[in-house]
Each structure stands twice: as C-alpha cells, then as structure tokens.
Chain A
Amino acid sequence: DAGVIQSPRHEVTEMGQEVTLRCKPISGHNSLFWYRQTMMRGLELLIYFNNNVPIDDSGMPEDRFSAKMPNASFSTLKIQPSEPRDSAVYFCASNLGFSGNTIYFGEGSWLTVV
C-alpha cells in the first residue's frame, strides 16, 4: 500500500509568492493532519480534518495560511503570501480517525522562502 504522498518534496520560493503543498492520504483513512516542523517549535499541528471537514484550525499561524480538503483523497495547504519565517518542513499525516490508531506521516515538503 502506498503511504501518505506529499508534493512537492522540496520548494524554494521568493518572499511574497504563493505556495501550495499537496497531500494524498492513505486510502480509507478519514482523518488528515497538517503539521509543521521547525527547530525552534518542534512539531506543530496546523489543522486537521475528519471526513473532509476541518475540525480544528487553531494551529494555523495566521490568515496567510489556508487548507482545503475537497475530497477524501486530496488536501492542500496554501501560504499566500509566503514569508521567510514560513520556512519549515510541512508534514501531512492520516489515520482512521480513532484515538489510538496509528497516525501515518508523509515524507514532508521542505519549504524554503528566500
């Protein structure tokens, strides 16, 4: 079975540009999570969806960040406009949505904003 698939794996962009990160969760999983990892703050949960519905977006840093899940097999995280402090690794993860079920992470999207 394919795991969580993220694209792009690496992105370098200029400040002010729009960035779109994409995620395909594991088939059958009904919860999807977007995490951001930095040296300073560790793994932060940005937003999570259950059955395609956003449940908690309190971790989204500001209005420049938005996330969508138009269907069960696809999600996007968009940053517009991007800033250098957004440079981080962004992970998408999915699971069956029940507490105690393993959360599976993708390999991450490495974003650098210059």
Chain B
Amino acid sequence: QQQVKQSPQSLIVQKGGISIINCAYENTAFDYFPWYQQFPGKGPALLIAIRPDVSEKKEGRFTISFNKSAKQFSLHIMDSQPGDSATYFCAASKGRGSTLGRLYFGRGTQLTVWP
C-alpha cells in the first residue's frame, strides 16, 4: 500500500518554465514532508522539507506548498534549468520527536528541462 502518492510520473518543461510535482497522503500522523532529488547514478539527496504548521516554504527557486486539510503538498521549481533535470521524490514521516526516522516515499517524478 502506497502511503504517499506522487504525480506526474514524468514531466517535461522548457527552460525558464515552472515545474510542479504533486503528492498526497492519507496518514494524518505524518508531520514531516521532505523532497529528495536524485541524479542518475547517485543516491537521493534532501532538497527541501516542510512541517505542517506552515503552508509554504521557499528556498531559492524551490517552494513547497502544503495543504493540511486536503492532505496534499507540492514542489514548485521556478525558472527551471537543465541542471534541474533529475528524479524528484516526495516523502513523509511521522512522530515529531520520535526516535525513528523512517520515510515513506512517493514513486518519483522524472523531470526533464529542455534548454
């Protein structure tokens, strides 16, 4: 059972455009929502993360929007660049202060940014 559902599976965006990836979850115990970026041949690496007490978090060109009532969150990449071409994973974990850091991952979105 997929705890976090991610869409789209793949995305093609022109350079300078906005890339938007969406995720949804069911478990209301989730309280930490990171996005990971993976380049070919590499392991996933943390890109940006949010907790449900805020609705938006921005770091440079990357923004997470969070809708607690809808149990959805999304990643927006502004001014997308060819170097952003990678696979993006949303994830969730539960239990603020829990001693366990287990993440539940979405299936991933392969982003291609055309120059």
Contacts and interface: CB of A to CB of B under 8 A. Distances in A.
A12 interface: no
Interface string A93-105: 1011111111111
A107 B102 contact: no
Contacts, number: 70
Contacts of B89: 42-43
B44 A43 contact: yes
A29 to B, nearest CB: 9
A104 to B, nearest CB: 8
B32 to A, nearest CB: 4
B95 A42 contact: no
Nearest to A50: B100
Interface in B86-106: 89, 93-106
A55 B95 CA distance: 15
Contacts of B45: 104-105
Nearest to A30: B99
**Secondary structure class of chain B's binding surface, majority of residues:** loop
Contact of A99 (B31, B43, B44): B31
Of the four ranges (under 10, 10 to 19, 20 to 34, 35 or more), the interface on chain A belongs to 20 to 34
B54 interface: no
A31 B101 contact: yes
Given A105-B43, A107-B41, A100 B100 contact: no
Interface in B72-115: 89, 93-108
B46 A102 contact: yes
A105 B47 CA distance: 13
B101 A105 contact: no
8 interchain residue pairs of minimum CB distance = A105-B43, A42-B107, A99-B98, A43-B105, A100-B32, A95-B101, A99-B95, A102-B46
18 contacts: A31-B100, A42-B89, A42-B105, A43-B44, A43-B108, A50-B99, A55-B100, A99-B101, A100-B49, A100-B93, A102-B34, A102-B49, A103-B103, A104-B46, A105-B44, A107-B41, A108-B42, A108-B43
